[in-house]
Structure 1
Amino acid sequence: MRRLAPRGRTVRPLLVAGLLTSGYTWAQAPRNPPSPPPFKVLRAEEDYRYLRAPDAPRAPLDGMKYLPLTREGTVFLSLGGDVRQRVEFYRHPDWAETPTANTAWLQRYMLHGDLWLWDRARVFLQLKSGWTLWRYGGPGPLDEDRLDVHQAFVEIRPWEHADEGLQVRLGRQELQFGSARLVSAREGPNVRLAFDGVRTRLRAHRWDVSAFAAWPVATEPGVFDDGPVRTRGFWGLYAVHPLPVLPGANVDLYYLGTSNELARYAQGEGREQRHSFGTRWWGTSGSWDYNLEAVLQVGRFSGAPLLAWTVASDTGFTLQNLPLSPRLGLMADIASGDRDAGDPSLQTFNPLFPRGSYFGEIGILGPYNFMDLHPVLRLHPTRTLVLTAEWTGFWRQSVADGLYGPSGVLVRPPNGSNSRWVGHQVNFTATWDIGRYVRLYATASRFFTGTFLRSTGPARNVDFLQAEVALRF
Structure 2
Amino acid sequence: MLPSPATTLNHRYSRRFVLCAHVVRTSRKAAEFPVLAMLLSLPSGVAMLGHGAYAADLQAVPPGQADHAGTRTASHPENVVVHIQPRPPIQTYPHANPVGQPLRMSGAENRKNGHQYDWGVFNRGNGEAAGFGPVGVYGVAPWAEDWSRLRTGRKSSDPFDVLKYIPLTRSGNVWISFSGETRLRNWFESRPQLGTQKPNDSGRFGVRNLYGADLHIGSHLRFFGQLVNADAAGWGGYGYGSTYRKRLDAQQAFVETRWNMLGAKSGFIFGRQQFLDAPSYMLYNRETPNVPLSWDGFRAYMVWKRIRIDGWDFVQTYDSENKMFHDTENYATRLYGFNTTWAPPDFTFMGQKGYSFLDAFYIGYKLSGSTGAIAGPGGTSVKGSNTRNNFGMRWHGVAGPIEFSVGGIWQGGVFRQASNNMARNVSAYAINSTLGARLPKNSLNTFVGIQTDVYSGGNASDRNGTIGTYVSPFNPQTNYLDTTTYMTASNLISFAPLVRITPFKSVSIQIKYPLFWRDSVNDPVYKSSGFYKFAGNFRGKFIGMAPQASVAWQINTHVSWTQYVSRFMTSRALNEAGGSSGTYYQSNFVFRF
TM tier, shorter chain?
A: 0.7 to 0.9
Match of 2:415 among 293, 297, 301: 301
Say whether the 8 Å CA contact 1:215–1:230 is kept in structure 2.
yes
Q: Note if 1:78 corresponds to 2:177.
A: yes
Match of 1:336 among 437, 443, 456: 456
Matched residue, 1:419: 540
Matched residue, 1:276: 390
Relative to structure 1, the CA distance from residue 175 to residue 63 in structure 2 (aligned partners, 3 Å threshold; closer, same or farther) is: same
Say whether the 8 Å CA contact 1:144–1:220 is kept in structure 2.
no
Match of 2:484 among 359, 362, 386: 362
Secondary structure, in 3 states, of the residue corresponding to 1:44?
helix
Matched residue, 2:315: 215
Matched residue, 1:399: 521
- Which deviates more from structure 2 when the two are superposed, residues 265-274 or residues 238-247? 238-247
Matched residue, 2:225: 125
Deviation at 1:216, TM superposition (A): 1.3
Q: Note if 1:431 corresponds to 2:531.
A: no
Deviation at 1:245, TM superposition (A): 6.1
Relative to structure 1, the CA distance from residue 146 to residue 355 in structure 2 (aligned partners, 3 Å threshold; closer, same or farther) is: farther
Over residues 163-206 of structure 1, what are the superposed CA-to-partner deviations in whole Å (9 max), with x where a residue is unaligned? 94111000000001243122212233322100001001111242
Distance 2:303 2:182 in 1: 32
Match of 2:333 among 204, 214, 232: 232
Distance 2:524 2:239 in 1: 25
Distance 2:221 2:278 in 1: 26
Amino acid at match of 2:390: S
Distance 1:56 1:284 in 2: 36
Q: Note if 1:182 corresponds to 2:182.
A: no
Say whether the 8 Å CA contact 2:202–2:237 is kept in structure 1.
no
Q: Note if 1:390 corresponds to 2:390.
A: no
Distance 1:237 1:390 in 2: 33
Number of aligned residue pairs: 440
Match of 2:588 among 458, 462, 468: 468
Match of 1:46 among 124, 131, 145: 145
Matched residue, 2:13: none
Matched residue, 1:259: 366
Structure 1 vs Structure 2: percent identity of aligned residues? 25
Q: Note if 1:323 corresponds to 2:422.
A: no
Over residues 345-364 of structure 1, what are the superposed CA-to-partner deviations in whole Å (9 max), with x where a residue is unaligned? 21110114133514333211
Distance 1:452 1:138 in 2: 27
Say whether the 8 Å CA contact 2:373–2:386 is kept in structure 1.
no
Amino acid at match of 1:470: V
Secondary structure, in 3 states, of the residue corresponding to 2:318?
coil
Say whether the 8 Å CA contact 1:127–1:151 is kept in structure 2.
yes
Deviation at 1:316, TM superposition (A): 1.0
Q: Note if 1:151 corresponds to 2:273.
A: no
The alignment's TM-score, normalised by the length of structure 2, stands at: 0.70
Deviation at 1:60, TM superposition (A): 2.9
Matched residue, 2:303: 203
Say whether the 8 Å CA contact 1:34–1:57 is kept in structure 2.
no
Distance 1:119 1:165 in 2: 12
Which structure 1 residue ranges, 5 or more long, are not aligned?
1-30
Greater gyration radius: 2
- Which deviates more from structure 2 when the two are superposed, residues 257-266 or residues 298-307? 257-266
Amino acid at match of 1:411: Y
Over residues 217-275 of structure 1, what are the superposed CA-to-partner deviations in whole Å (9 max), with x where a residue is unaligned? 23326222322221112100012111116441110110011112331121322211111
Distance 1:361 1:148 in 2: 29
Deviation at 1:387, TM superposition (A): 0.8
Deviation at 1:399, TM superposition (A): 0.8
Distance 2:302 2:155 in 1: 27
Relative to structure 1, the CA distance from residue 164 to residue 418 in structure 2 (aligned partners, 3 Å threshold; closer, same or farther) is: same
Matched residue, 2:107: none
Relative to structure 1, the CA distance from residue 412 to residue 316 in structure 2 (aligned partners, 3 Å threshold; closer, same or farther) is: farther
Say whether the 8 Å CA contact 1:298–1:306 is kept in structure 2.
yes
Distance 2:155 2:399 in 1: 32
Amino acid at match of 1:425: A
Relative to structure 1, the CA distance from residue 259 to residue 221 in structure 2 (aligned partners, 3 Å threshold; closer, same or farther) is: closer
Amino acid at match of 1:39: Y
Say whether the 8 Å CA contact 1:288–1:315 is kept in structure 2.
yes
Say whether the 8 Å CA contact 2:402–2:438 is kept in structure 1.
yes
Over residues 279-311 of structure 1, what are the superposed CA-to-partner deviations in whole Å (9 max), with x where a residue is unaligned? 000001111101111000111112111100000
Deviation at 1:108, TM superposition (A): 1.2
Match of 2:191 among 83, 89, 92: 92
Over residues 137-187 of structure 1, what are the superposed CA-to-partner deviations in whole Å (9 max), with x where a residue is unaligned? 5552332223211100011113379x9411100000000124312221223
Amino acid at match of 2:325: F
- Which deviates more from structure 2 when the two are superposed, residues 93-102 or residues 341-350? 93-102
Of Structure 1 and Structure 2, which has the larger fraction of its residues in strand? 1
Say whether the 8 Å CA contact 2:307–2:341 is kept in structure 1.
yes
Amino acid at match of 2:561: L
Matched residue, 2:99: none
Distance 1:412 1:156 in 2: 49
Distance 1:335 1:414 in 2: 25
